Amino acid sequence: MNAAELKSRLKSGGTAFGCMVTLVRNPRFATVFAGGGIDYVVIDTEHSSRDRGEVADLVWTLKAVGVVPIVRVASTIPYLVAVALDAGASGVLVPYCERVEDVRECVAVANWHPLKGENLKKAMAGTHVSDASREYLANRHKDGIVIIGIESEPAYRNLDRIMDVGGMDALFIGPNDMSTSLGTPDKFDQRYWDVCADIVKRAEVRGLPTMIHHQTPETAMKSIEVGARFVLYSSEGRLLQRQMQSDFTALRTAAGKRFGGATAGKVKDTIETV
């Protein structure tokens, strides 16, 4: 799948599936994603330490194996959106947006890059770009995916004004941040799900799919039940650990039946949620 296909599927009301990349640095790991049954990955640079070269290596390798690379930038600083685009990212996820001004500036960079400075401000105001430049930039960014993070109660209160900015393709809800902002850290109670459902509903009216990042099959399926079509599930490290837990538990059980003795291993989730 490429970015144009992913964007078209979501615009037509379809679903897409992916995971977060938080630990992997070696681009050869992209071959794992190639056979993993996913459409896209979100490369985390908000909570993970990655330099520009590492991001670019992952981006281009993922493209080569047919997985769409989206970069979660570190903050709402517009320059970081340009950095992700310069690395070749097919999309950007701007985290923890609350101020309309921040959203407007990040969306502008995503849609007008490489314009910058005074020219970018004029383009945002519709007073600078020639017809030729406008056509060139529209074509350059037509397949780009811009995702805005609604991850706090203040952002939720400001949701309509944020969506009024336009120029975005999806919304993102970070469950850890949202639940913490609502006063119940990592407790996904009815109030949390009601907020998620309301965001999804209001976004869909504007043709925007919502991405909710959950870590367990049960909570991920709940996010689908409330209408999230841009499905972001777990991370590469957590998926690998859980498969190891499952496989080695089965092997220890088989060894116990064949050879006897205590074969139980210590199995616990040790991957940090981001």
| C-beta of residue 208 within 8 angstroms of C-beta of residue 248 | no
55 has pLDDT over 70: yes
Q: Residue 59: how many CB atoms within 10 A of its CB?
A: 23
Q: pLDDT band at residue 237, thresholds of 50, 70 and 90?
A: very high
Statement: residue 54 has pLDDT above 70: yes
pLDDT attached to residue 220: 97
Average pLDDT of the chain to the nearest whole number: 93
Of 116-125, 137-146, 220-229, which gets the smallest average pLDDT? 116-125
- Whole-model pTM: value is 0.94
Domains by residue range for the chain, with CATH: 3-259 (3.20.20.60)
pLDDT band at 267 (very low <50, low <70, confident <90, very high): confident
- Reported as a single tens digit per residue, the pLDDT across 150-177 is 999 999 999 999 999 999 999 999 999 9
pLDDT at 264: 64
Segment (H or E) for 245 = helix 236-259
Lookup result for tokens 């490369």? 43
Q: Two tokens at 274?
A: 């981001």
Q: What sections of 87-232 are H helices per DSSP?
A: 100-112, 117-124, 131-141, 153-157, 159-164, 175-181, 190-205, 217-225
Residue 49 vs residue 62, higher pLDDT: 62
111-122 average pLDDT score? 88
Average pLDDT score over residue span 232-242? 95
Beta strands (DSSP E) in 121-219 are: 145-149, 170-173, 210-214
Q: Looking at this protein, which amino acid is placed at residue 79?
A: Y
Nearest C-alpha neighbor of 3 from the set 204, 170, 142: 142
Q: Over the stretch 22-33, which tens digit does the pLDDT of each residue have?
A: 998 888 888 899
Indicate whether 179 pLDDT > 90.
yes
Specify the higher pLDDT residue, 66 or 256. Answer: 66
pLDDT (average), residues 53-60: 95
The lowest-confidence range among 39-43, 120-124, 219-223, 260-264 is 260-264
Both tokens of 160, joined, read 């309509």
- Asked if residue 124 has pLDDT above 90, the reply is no
Lowest mean pLDDT among 70-74, 108-112, 202-206, 248-252: 248-252
The candidate with the shortest Cα–Cα distance to 172, out of 266, 264, 250, 91, is 91
Looking at residue 271, what is its pLDDT? Answer: 77
> Is it the case that residue 250 has pLDDT exceeding 90?
no
pLDDT (mean) for 110-119: 90
Q: Give me 230's structure tokens.
A: 């841009």
Banded model confidence at residue 263, pLDDT cuts 50, 70, 90: low
Q: What value does the mean pLDDT take over residues 184-211?
A: 97
